[in-house]
């Protein structure tokens, strides 16, 4: 995968935006359990009262709370509360909110920041709990002994009817300090959140005493918290949609660029480089492998970045809700990692084999489709069916094996998740019973644990997809990393004008990469404009190799090829090939129309140019016989025309180019003798100023060529006109006599 990272560079801004949105989405998702916890703890259990610092309290209540506060704490509390005077401008509104103000003095709290509330919370919380205990004593004197022990002295000895608050208010300062210390000691073992929860009931009673509707207070808190949860949910959904769009766009862009790069790379391959990869494999790499890379990019952006944020954030927030249950998270992570690593170790070798098996299946299918006539002719349908079935079964069995391994993951994951939920409820319920945890915190802890499990589930899906995508990425990179054998010069030169088209071979030899010996050696000749240079020889003598060196389909191993006095390696390949009309041995046509195929030679050719080329190539008759004419459809590879028609259209395509150099590589083999002769006569007139190269097995085709080069085992064994070679070259004479009679050959 790292070898293809550079293809992500054009999408850097989109990637950064996607990562930012993932952070926002993760934080929104992580906030939801916390708000759910607040609704349960505060909205339901505490009646909407958030803390032990009430928004208002009666003066008598503050005087009673002062019994349990140190002078410094009392001064801090008084600094944040203001006694409401009848002369205050907002007195009427305050009375409407706190009806008790009409009958007794009330203090209203100032606007406080979070830090101040957290500072006051434990101070007033302890005082409210102690105050509630004394009020209970007033109502039930039988609890005096137990409560007195908590306050540091025996309250059971109070005289009947004695007001406990009056008694405590008149205690000496030293004894009141002792009582305050006893209260602090009693609450030392409890967390601030638990003290706050214990004090809330007393605060709620105080608000009711002020005349407030605590039912509305509770509903208002639940609706506000639920509204915030809804906003966070909508934010998370929006981020999810945006990240999905961005990841799809990045993946599609990378896929497009990879396919383009692979195609452009392959179009510049020499024959030797093409032999490194089968055609079926190159097709698979450009399609299936690129699709795998696209899929993993989408998954990487949507899961691999998101999962760690959720996992780490979930752990931090879960420990904040219930630090004592950390071992449950550790157990879950250990089980999940063990499961993922086990599946990964089993499935990885098979993932690496899948793409090769797809290559094999494509190869068998392609060979069967392209060779269907041969298969039928030899009655080998059953053999090919067995061959395809084996490739198909190999791929199917591998996919099934991986699916069987993967299918175990989800049930095991669900088992782990449900077991964790039961364990959290079991342990958490005991802690709730012991006042060590709130119910909402236990529920939030369970939600965060589920988020952590889902984060590992997402990562496990990546472990499933990543190995196969990594193999695919490596296969694509293997194509892109191939060193090109043919390169344009760093400082190319231009052909002299006017361009003549004279071609000279000087001591040329050629050896295929990896071969032990040369296939061509000591090739020397000059081909002049207006003349035909023909090549003839036995099969494998090197005829096609010679002409393929002219457009630089290969580079010479030694010697040089000059065009108008310039070494063809000193000009760009594009500049060289623009001046050559090439007709290969196999007349390949492309899907489209006859006209679109002809315009390969020159996209801007006029209708008259097309008609002239078709006439010279002797293709007019069969084109005119079609109702659509030049607009007649051509199937892929020219499958709907005969071999001779295909060759004539390939020749016409080259003639449309009106090039100064023409190469006909055994391009007349599918033509009958009459058509061959007519074509050569028309060709001679049309290309009178061009340099012609003709490779053929027919002596009759080249008898009138100005120069015939005879090749045998890669070397030149003859050069001259037909008459000269009949006298001087035994190889040529044998070929001529085998095809023509003595009289015709002479």
Separation CA 203–CA 48 (nearest Å): 11
Separation CA 43–CA 84 (nearest Å): 29
Alpha carbon dihedral 182, 186, 189, 190, in 10-degree steps, equals -120
Q: Which domains does the chain have, with CATH numbers?
A: 2-36+226-480 (1.20.1560.10), 51-222 (no CATH), 493-579+659-746 (3.40.50.300), 588-658 (3.40.50.300)
Angle, helix 214-267 to helix 439-480, in steps of 10 degrees: 10
Separation CA 122–CA 188 (nearest Å): 11
Separation CA 405–CA 244 (nearest Å): 28
Separation CA 484–CA 273 (nearest Å): 8
pLDDT number for residue 746: 57
272-296 pLDDT per residue, tens: 777 788 777 788 888 888 988 898 8
What does residue 533 show for φ and ψ, rounded to 5 degrees? -110, 120
Q: Residue 369: in which H helix or E strand, if any? A: helix 326-370
Residues contacting 675, CB < 8 A, separation 6+: 618, 644, 648
In the chain, which residues have pLDDT < 50? 144-150, 152-153
Separation CA 519–CA 715 (nearest Å): 8
pLDDT number for residue 211: 87
DSSP helix/strand/coil, 583: strand
Separation CA 120–CA 133 (nearest Å): 20
pLDDT number for residue 566: 92
Reading phi first (left if > 0) and then psi (alpha if -120 to 50, else beta), residue 20 is in: alpha
Separation CA 455–CA 443 (nearest Å): 19
pLDDT number for residue 475: 83
State how far Cα 163 lies from the chain centre: 76
Residues contacting 200, CB < 8 A, separation 6+: 46, 47, 49, 51, 52
DSSP helix/strand/coil, 143: helix
Q: Which two tokens stand for residue 227?
A: 């509204």
With the C-alpha atoms ordered 637, 640, 644, 647, is the resulting torsion angle positive or negative? negative
Cβ atoms < 10 Å from Cβ of 525: 16
pLDDT number for residue 144: 47
pLDDT number for residue 438: 77
How far is residue 223 from each of residues 3, 37, 435, 708, measured CA to CA in Å?
A: 53, 14, 27, 98
């Amino acid at each position: 995968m790292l070898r293809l990272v550079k293809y992500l560079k054009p999408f850097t801004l989109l990637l950064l935006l996607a990562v930012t949105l993932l952070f926002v989405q993760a934080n929104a998702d992580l906030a939801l359990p916390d708000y759910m916890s607040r609704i349960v703890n505060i909205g339901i259990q505490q009646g909407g009262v958030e803390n032990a610092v009430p928004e208002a309290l009666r003066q008598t209540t503050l005087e009673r709370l002062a019994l349990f506060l140190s002078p410094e704490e009392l001064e801090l509390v008084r600094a944040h509360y203001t006694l409401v005077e009848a002369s205050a401008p907002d007195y009427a509104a305050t009375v409407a909110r706190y009806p008790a103000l009409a009958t007794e003095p009330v203090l209203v709290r100032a606007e406080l920041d979070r830090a101040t509330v957290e500072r006051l919370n434990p101070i007033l919380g302890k005082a409210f709990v102690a105050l509630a205990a004394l009020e209970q004593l007033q109502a039930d004197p039988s609890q005096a002994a137990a409560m007195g022990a908590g306050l540091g002295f025996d309250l059971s000895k109070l005289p009947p009817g004695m007001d406990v608050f009056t008694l405590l208010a008149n205690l000496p300062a030293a004894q009141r300090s002792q009582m305050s210390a006893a209260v602090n000691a009693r609450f030392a073992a409890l967390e601030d959140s638990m003290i706050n929860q214990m004090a809330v009931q007393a605060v709620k009673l105080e608000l009711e005493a002020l005349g407030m509707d605590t039912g509305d207070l509770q509903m208002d808190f639940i609706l506000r918290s639920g509204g915030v949860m809804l906003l966070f949910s909508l934010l998370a959904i929006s981020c999810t949609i945006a990240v999905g769009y961005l990841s799809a766009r990045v993946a599609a862009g990378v896929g497009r660029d990879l396919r383009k790069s692979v195609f452009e790379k392959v179009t510049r391959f020499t024959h030797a480089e093409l032999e490194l990869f089968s055609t079926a494999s190159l097709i698979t790499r450009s399609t299936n492998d690129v699709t795998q890379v696209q899929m993993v990019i989408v998954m990487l952006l949507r899961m691999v970045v998101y999962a760690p944020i959720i996992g780490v954030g979930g752990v931090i927030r879960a420990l904040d809700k219930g630090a004592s249950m950390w071992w449950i998270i550790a157990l879950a992570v250990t089980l999940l990692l063990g499961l993922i690593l086990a599946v990964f170790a089993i499935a990885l070798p098979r993932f690496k084999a899948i793409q090769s098996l797809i290559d094999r299946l494509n190869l068998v299918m392609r060979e069967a489709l392209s060779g269907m006539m041969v298969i039928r002719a030899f009655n080998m349908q059953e053999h090919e069916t067995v061959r395809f079935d084996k490739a198909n079964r190999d791929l199917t069995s591998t996919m099934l094996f991986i699916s069987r391994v993967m299918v175990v993951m989800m049930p095991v994951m669900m088992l782990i998740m449900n077991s964790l939920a039961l364990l959290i409820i079991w342990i958490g319920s005991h802690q709730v019973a012991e006042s060590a945890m709130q119910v909402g915190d236990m529920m939030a802890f369970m939600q965060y644990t589920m988020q952590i499990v889902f984060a590992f589930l997402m990562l496990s899906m990546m472990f499933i997809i990543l190995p196969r995508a990594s193999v695919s990425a490596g296969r694509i990179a293997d194509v892109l990393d191939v060193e090109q054998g043919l390169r344009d010069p760093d400082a190319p030169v231009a052909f002299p004008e006017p361009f003549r088209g004279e071609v000279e071979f000087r001591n040329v030899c050629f050896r295929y990469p990896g071969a032990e010996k040369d296939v061509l050696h000591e090739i020397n000749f000059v081909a002049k404009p207006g003349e035909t240079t023909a090549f003839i020889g036995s099969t494998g003598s090197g005829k096609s190799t010679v002409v393929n060196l002219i457009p630089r389909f290969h580079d010479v191993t030694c010697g040089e090829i000059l065009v108008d006095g310039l070494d063809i390696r000193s000009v760009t390949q594009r500049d060289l090939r623009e001046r050559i009309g090439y007709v290969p041995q196999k007349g390949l046509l492309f899907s489209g129309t006859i006209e679109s195929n002809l315009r390969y030679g020159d996209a801007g050719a006029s209708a008259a140019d097309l008609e002239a080329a078709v006439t010279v190539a002797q293709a007019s008759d069969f084109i005119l016989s079609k109702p659509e004419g030049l607009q007649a459809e051509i199937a892929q590879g020219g499958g709907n025309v005969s071999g001779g028609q295909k060759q004539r259209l390939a020749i016409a395509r080259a003639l449309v180019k009106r090039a100064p150099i023409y190469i006909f590589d055994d391009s007349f083999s599918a033509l009958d003798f009459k058509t061959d002769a007519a074509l050569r006569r028309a060709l001679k007139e049309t290309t009178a100023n061009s340099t012609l190269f003709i490779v053929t097995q027919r002596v009759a085709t080249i008898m009138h060529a100005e120069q015939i080069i005879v090749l045998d085992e890669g070397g030149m064994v003859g050069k001259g006109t037909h008459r000269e070679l009949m006298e001087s070259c035994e190889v040529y004479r044998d070929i001529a006599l085998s095809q023509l009679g003595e009289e015709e050959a002479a």
